[in-house]
Amino acid sequence: MSVVRASVEVAAPPSTVWKVVSDPRNLTAWDHHIISVDGVPPDGLREGSRYRTWVRFMGVRAHADAEVLAFRPGRYAKVRLKGLVEGTVETWLEPLDGNRTLLRHEVDYRLIGGPLGRVAARGIKFLGASYLVRRGALAQKRQAEETGHRRPG
């Protein structure tokens, strides 16, 4: 197993950041390799919720099944992944002064074997797992800050 961590300060309150990071349907906006997310409960996630994420990487399509292991709204979530990638993704939110939030992720993962796993491993090695997680956190930051600056119309 490999562990990757990323953290970023977001210029938005935890409630706004949580709305962004706790909705897996946003994954397609954060990573262009993720092509769709199926099965997200219409009333949102909670412990025990399951959904499926579809990815396309170097011309190969695969999926990862996700199960929410822990869910503390506004503060923490832990999701287990099974499929092309196996492991856990943990997310923490910490309020900061000035209506800001510290967003932290820890991804503990391993790639499956076989031809598909080898293709994914080469791609992740080329790009760098830390870079991919950091890029995702920065995309979440942008989305939360844009959401927080929109005014009801």
CA 54 to CA 38: how far, in whole Å?
8
pLDDT value at position 33? 84
Residue 57 near residue 119, CB atoms below 8 Å: yes
pLDDT value at position 40? 97
pTM: 0.86
pLDDT value at position 117? 60
Please state, in angstroms and as integers, the Cα–Cα distance from residue 24 to each residue in 1, 52, 99, 134, following that order: 23, 9, 24, 17
- Parallel, antiparallel, or unpaired: how do β-strands 60-72 and 50-57 relate? antiparallel
pLDDT in tens, the chain (153 residues): 688 899 999 999 999 999 999 999 999 999 888 999 999 999 999 999 999 999 887 777 888 899 999 999 999 999 999 987 789 999 999 999 999 999 999 999 877 756 556 555 555 554 566 777 888 999 999 999 998 666 444
Q: How many domains, in total, are found in the chain? A: 1
pLDDT value at position 153? 46
CATH number at residue 42: 3.30.530.20
- Domain around 144: 2-149
Residues 6+ positions from 100 with CB-CB distance below 8 Å:
9, 10, 11, 12, 13
